[in-house]
C-alpha cells in the first residue's frame, strides 16, 4: 500500500515547481524537505572533485544551516526537474552565495557559471571561491573582486592572512588564507557586497557627465597613469611609489607648480593618446582623499610645453592659489562640480581636457590592478598598435620583468615601519658592529634625504622620526 507520506518522499522539484526550461526559480528549500535527496545528489556531483561541499555530507545537512534561505533552481534540459541549484544566505552585506549543485553535464556547468557570474555582478551578491571556478569567473567573466583586506575581513567577520597573489592561480591579486573545518584554505572574495565603498568608474563624456554624482572624499575611483620611460615601469612594478615624494617631471615648469604627486587621469583614452610614450599604462584604484587638483600660477588649468611659465615661490603660495581655485569652482554651473567635497578637484577631473588629478597616496605594487600594453609603441615607436589589458602578474610574466627587490628594499610605500625587518638583515644580532652603525647613522641621525636615499618611503620616514623623538632606537647602540 502506497501512503501519502511515500508520495511526499518521491516528489521531485518538477512536481513541486513545474519549472519552465531555462527560467530560474527562486525559493526557500527549508520549506521543501521532500527535495533533500535530489538537492544532495546535485550538490555532491558539483563538489565531487574536491571531496564534497565542506558543510554538506548527507541529505540532512541541506537544512542544517537556517540561514540558507536563498535558493535558485533551473531546468535547462527540459526534463522538468532542476538541473542546477544555487544557494546562499542573507547577511548585512547582501546575499553570500554558499554553494552550487548541478547534474554534471557540460551544459549545466556552463549555465551555472553564467548565472553565478550574473548574480555576482549585482550589488549585494558575493561569494568566497578558489580553484578553477575562480579562474573562470575572474579571468573569463571579469567578475568583480573585493581587493581590500579590511573590506574582506569586515564582510567575512573574521581575520584573514592576506597573501595577495596566489601561487597556484594566475588570476586575481587579493587572495587570503583562512581556516575552514580546521584546515587552512586559500580563498578570494568576489562579487559586490553592499555597504562597502565600491570602486567608481567616472564617465566624463557629455551628456553623461551631467548626471554624474558629486565627488566625495570617502569614495574610491579608478585612475590611469601612462609612462614616458619603460625603466620607470619596472621600478614601480617592483617597489611601488609614493605621491608624497618630490616627483621627477618631464617638463621643468611642472616642478615649480606641482612638485609632488603622480599625474593620473580618469579617462583611459586621454592617457593612451597623450601620456604613454613607453607603451605602458597602469590602472589602479585611488581613494578620492588621496587625490588633489593640479595647481598652476595664476589659476591656469594647464600649460602647453614650451610656453613660458612662472613657478610658485613656495608651497604656501601654491596652497593659496588652490584655495582661490576652490572658491571659483564653488560657483561652477555644473552640479557635480560645485557640490563635490573639493570642487577644484572635481573641476579638473570632470572638465579639464585631460580629466586629471595628482595622486598623493602610497601605491604598493599589488595595488596596481591592470597594466595596459601597446607592444608596437613600446618596441617600434609606432602609434597604430593595439592596447591590451593585462593583470599585473600577466604583464610581468609576458615581459619577463625581474621584480626581485634588493636587501635594502625594506618596505613598500604603504607599509608601517617595523624594526624586525632591520634586525632580520643582521640575523637578529644586536651586537653586530654594522648593525649599530646603521642604527646610529640612519635611524638616529639620518635626515630625510639620507633615509630616502636608502629607499625608505615618506610613511616610514615620519614614523622613524617619531620613534627617534621617543628615544626608541637608543637601546640598540
* Mean pLDDT across 334-341: 93
Residue pair 30/68 in contact by the 8 Å Cβ criterion: yes
Looking at the structure, tell me whether residues 339 and 211 fall in a common domain: yes
241 and 111 within one domain: no
Higher per-residue confidence, 158 vs 203 = 158
Same domain? 115 vs 239: no
Phi, psi of 476 (to 5 degrees): -95, 0
| Structural domains of the chain, count | 3
pLDDT band at 7 (very low <50, low <70, confident <90, very high): very low
Task: Check residue 304 and give its pLDDT.
Answer: 63
> What range defines the domain where residue 430 resides?
419-476
**389 and 438 both lie in a single domain:** no
Domain identity same for 381 and 424 = no
Q: How far apart are CA 55 and CA 157, in angstroms?
A: 18
Mean pLDDT lowest for which of 27-31, 128-132, 393-397? Answer: 27-31
Give yes or no for a contact between 292 and 260, defined as CB atoms under 8 angstroms apart. Answer: no
DSSP 76: -
Q: What is the CA radius of gyration of the chain?
A: 28
Q: How confident is the model at residue 4 (pLDDT cuts 50, 70, 90)?
A: very low
* Domain final position from 120, 147, 182: 120
For residues 401-418, average pLDDT: 89
Among residues 104, 120, 136, the one where a domain terminates is: 120
Domain final position from 350, 369, 398: 398
- Which grid cell is 42? 546535485
CA 455 to the chain's CA centroid = 25
Instruction: For residues 359 and 433, state if they share a domain.
Output: no
Tell me: do 286 and 394 sit in the same domain. Answer: yes
Provide mean pLDDT across the span 462-474: 95
| pLDDT exceeds cutoff 70 at 206 | yes
Do 324 and 245 lie in a common domain? yes
Of the pLDDT bands very low, low, confident and very high (cuts 50, 70, 90), residue 222 is: very high
Question: Between these two residues, 468 and 171, which has the higher pLDDT value?
Answer: 468
Q: How confident is the model over 423-449, as a mean pLDDT? A: 93
d(CA 322, CA 365): 30
Q: Is there a single domain that holds both residue 240 and residue 388?
A: yes
pTM value is 0.66
Amino acid at each position: 500500500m502506497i501512503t501519502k507520506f511515500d508520495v511526499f518522499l518521491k516528489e521531485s522539484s518538477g512536481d513541486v515547481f513545474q519549472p519552465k526550461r531555462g527560467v530560474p526559480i527562486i525559493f526557500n528549500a527549508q520549506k521543501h524537505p521532500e527535495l533533500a535527496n535530489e538537492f544532495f545528489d546535485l550538490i555532491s556531483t558539483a563538489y565531487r572533485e574536491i571531496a564534497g561541499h565542506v558543510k554538506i555530507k548527507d541529505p540532512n545537512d541541506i537544512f542544517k544551516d537556517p540561514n540558507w534561505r536563498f535558493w535558485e533552481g533551473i531546468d535547462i534540459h527540459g526534463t522538468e526537474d532542476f538541473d542546477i541549484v544555487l544557494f546562499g544566505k542573507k547577511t548585512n552585506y547582501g546575499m553570500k552565495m554558499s554553494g552550487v549543485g548541478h547534474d554534471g553535464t557540460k551544459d549545466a556547468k556552463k549555465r551555472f557559471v553564467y548565472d553565478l557570474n550574473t548574480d555576482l555582478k549585482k550589488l549585494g551578491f558575493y561569494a568566497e571561491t578558489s580553484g578553477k571556478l575562480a579562474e573562470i569567473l575572474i579571468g573569463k567573466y571579469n567578475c568583480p573582486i573585493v581587493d581590500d583586506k579590511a573590506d574582506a575581513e569586515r564582510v567575512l567577520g573574521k581575520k584573514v592572512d592576506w597573501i595577495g597573489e596566489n601561487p597556484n592561480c594566475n588570476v586575481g591579486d587579493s587572495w587570503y588564507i583562512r581556516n575552514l573545518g580546521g584546515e587552512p584554505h586559500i580563498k578570494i572574495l568576489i562579487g559586490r557586497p553592499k555597504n562597502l565603498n565600491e570602486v567608481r568608474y567616472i564617465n566624463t563624456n557629455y551628456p553623461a557627465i551631467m548626471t554624474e554624482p558629486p565627488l566625495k572624499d570617502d569614495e574610491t575611483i579608478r585612475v590611469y597613469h601612462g609612462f614616458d620611460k619603460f625603466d620607470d615601469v619596472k621600478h614601480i612594478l617592483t617597489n611601488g611609489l609614493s605621491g608624497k615624494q618630490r616627483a621627477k617631471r618631464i617638463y621643468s615648469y611642472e616642478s615649480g607648480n606641482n612638485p609632488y604627486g603622480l599625474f593620473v587621469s580618469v579617462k583611459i583614452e586621454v592617457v593612451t593618446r597623450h601620456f604613454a610614450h613607453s607603451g605602458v599604462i597602469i590602472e589602479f584604484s585611488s581613494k578620492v582623499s588621496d587625490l588633489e587638483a593640479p595647481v598652476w600660477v595664476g589659476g591656469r588649468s594647464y600649460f602647453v610645453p614650451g610656453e613660458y611659465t612662472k613657478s610658485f615661490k613656495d608651497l604656501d603660495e601654491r596652497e593659496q592659489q588652490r584655495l582661490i581655485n576652490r572658491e571659483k569652482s564653488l560657483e561652477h554651473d555644473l552640479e557635480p562640480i560645485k557640490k563635490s567635497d573639493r570642487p577644484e578637484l572635481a573641476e579638473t577631473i570632470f572638465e579639464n581636457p585631460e580629466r586629471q588629478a595628482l595622486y598623493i597616496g602610497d601605491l604598493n605594487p599589488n595595488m596596481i590592478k591592470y597594466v595596459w600594453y601597446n607592444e608596437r609603441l613600446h618596441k617600434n615607436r609606432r602609434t597604430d598598435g593595439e592596447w591590451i589589458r593585462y593583470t599585473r602578474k600577466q604583464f610581468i610574466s609576458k615581459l619577463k620583468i625581474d621584480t626581485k627587490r634588493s636587501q635594502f628594499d625594506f618596505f613598500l610605500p604603504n607599509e608601517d615601519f617595523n624594526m624586525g625587518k632591520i634586525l632580520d638583515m643582521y640575523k637578529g644580532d644586536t651586537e653586530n658592529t654594522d648593525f649599530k652603525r646603521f642604527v646610529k647613522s640612519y635611524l638616529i641621525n639620518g635626515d630625510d634625504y639620507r633615509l630616502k636615499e636608502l629607499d625608505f618611503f615618506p610613511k616610514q620616514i615620519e614614523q622613524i622620526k617619531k620613534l627617534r623623538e621617543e628615544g626608541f632606537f637608543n637601546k640598540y647602540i
